[in-house]
Amino acid sequence: MRLLIDECVDPRVRLLFGDHKVSNVHEQGWDTLGDGPLLAAAQKDFDVLLTIDGGLEFQQNLAKFQLGVVVVHAPKNQLSYYLVIQHEMLAAVERASPGKVIHVRTPPI
């Protein structure tokens, strides 16, 4: 699976995805792209976008992109919060499909 991590996500999250090909928006040089152009560029080289932008699916017509989206809902953008839901994120990335959104939430405290 080819995974792109959005610029709003702690870049250390890449360590949680083992054998998947993982890159982030900064490494691709796409920091300045808005959401639509980013999705258009990403669909050429990636299967899934991992983001914390919960509004993305309401601001973009994701059905027109050949890219799945996983939205992570964590209380803070720190690696420790992602570690708690590592298995759920990995499962979501593996079952993501083009034009669809999967939400992963940290369990309530």
How many domains, the chain?
A: 1
Tell me the two tokens of residue 47: 């299967």
CATH number at residue 77: 3.40.50
The average confidence (pLDDT) of the chain is 95
| 26 close to 6: Cβ distance less than 8 angstroms | no
Q: With 80 as the cut, is the pLDDT of residue 69 above it? A: yes
| 3 close to 22: Cβ distance less than 8 angstroms | yes
Lookup result for tokens 């993982």? 22
Between CA 7 and CA 26 the distance in angstroms is 6
Tell me the two tokens of residue 85: 């839901």
Tell me the two tokens of residue 17: 């995805």
Q: Tens digit of pLDDT for each residue in 19-60?
A: 899 999 999 999 999 999 999 999 999 999 999 999 999 999
Per-residue pLDDT, 109? 63
* Residue 25 structural domain: 2-105
What is the reported pTM? 0.94
